[in-house]
Amino acid sequence: MALSLAKQQPTLPWDDDMRSTRDDILLRYLRLREISKRLHEEVLNCVSGDRLLDHARRLGLTRGKTLFLEDVEEMYYVYDLAVYTAPADRSRAIDRYAKSAKFDAQSDERLMLDAMRASQFAILLIEQRHDTVGLIATDILRNFKVWLLDVGLENSMDDGELIATRLLTPGKFSMTAGVNIPFEIEMLEPICMLLPQRMGNGKLSRIAEDRRFAEAVYKVGLANGVMDRMTYLDLPDGA
């Protein structure tokens, strides 16, 4: 089973005449990022310890019933799967949380929660720097251009590099849900070996929506020592 990469086309989902300044956009991004971090913490309260352990086991991060981590930040991949994925006969934690959330319809909290529920797992090809702030990337599984705001990635990734991540899109720009995997084409073969054979006959966009695809990407990335190549950065106050 092999995955073919989509051809890139210049379809831009945002306006060409960006009138906001870099500082304005960053301020908006930082507010939404802080809200998303808080919501992620609250959603995880809907997840049992057994469910977290099950996700960790599927990623190869357990020995028996004990977590076995080389880096504590490996848990971010467990949290991502626990929040955003579930088997067909179970509800997602993000959806269970949304049923009880009491946010105003026009609030940023509701905007961010809706973006989290509509998240998409993607493999992004970094094309270039955006003229104002962030990166322009192509989601190669959906053949779609993305305006990505992530200060850490903007400062660390070069044009032409690939990264697997979960995208949240609360407006014209997208942001990551918090975890990333530096991606290489050579990873496709072991990833495909972890997927059911019948998935190889579907559209790439549909494969990307299957919970097992993100799980396979994370498992292969962790086995390849992804934490040795990743650094999670927080912006200083006022950045």
Q: Which has more pLDDT, 197 or 230?
A: 197
Query: Once rounded to an integer, what is the mean pLDDT over residues 199-216?
Result: 84
H/E element, 87: none
Q: Is the pLDDT of residue 6 over 80?
A: no
Mean pLDDT of 21-33: 95
Report the C-alpha gap between 208 and 121 in whole angstroms. Answer: 6
Of 94 and 232, which is predicted with more confidence?
94
Question: What is the DSSP secondary structure assignment for residue 118, as one 8-state letter?
Answer: T
How many whole angstroms separate alpha carbon 164 and alpha carbon 162?
Answer: 7
Residue 28 pLDDT exceeds 70: yes
Task: Please determine, for residue 16, whether its predicted confidence score (pLDDT) is greater than 60.
Answer: no
pLDDT band at residue 134, thresholds of 50, 70 and 90? very high
Q: Which strands sit side by side in the sheet containing 120-129, from one edge to the other?
A: 144-148, 135-139, 120-129, 162-168, 175-183
- Residues with Cβ within 8 Å of 144's Cβ and at least 6 positions away in sequence, in order, are 11, 13, 138
CB 218 within 8 A of CB 181: yes
> Mean pLDDT, to the nearest integer, of 126-137?
96
As a whole number, mean pLDDT of residues 129-158 equals 94
Confidence band of 121 (pLDDT split at 50, 70, 90) = very high
Dihedral of alpha carbons 154, 157, 159, 164, sign: negative
Half-sphere exposure in the Cβ direction for 200 (13 Å, CA): 12
Report the range of poorest mean pLDDT among 51-65, 177-191, 195-209.
Answer: 195-209
Note the pLDDT tens digit of each residue in 168-199: 999 999 999 989 999 999 998 999 899 987 77
Encode burial over 90-99: b for 16+ CB neighbours within 10 A, e otherwise: eebbbeebbe
Q: Is residue 239 over pLDDT 80? A: no
Please tell me the predicted confidence (pLDDT) of residue 10.
Answer: 41
| pTM of this prediction exceeds 0.95 | no
Query: 26 versus 198: which is more confidently predicted?
Result: 26
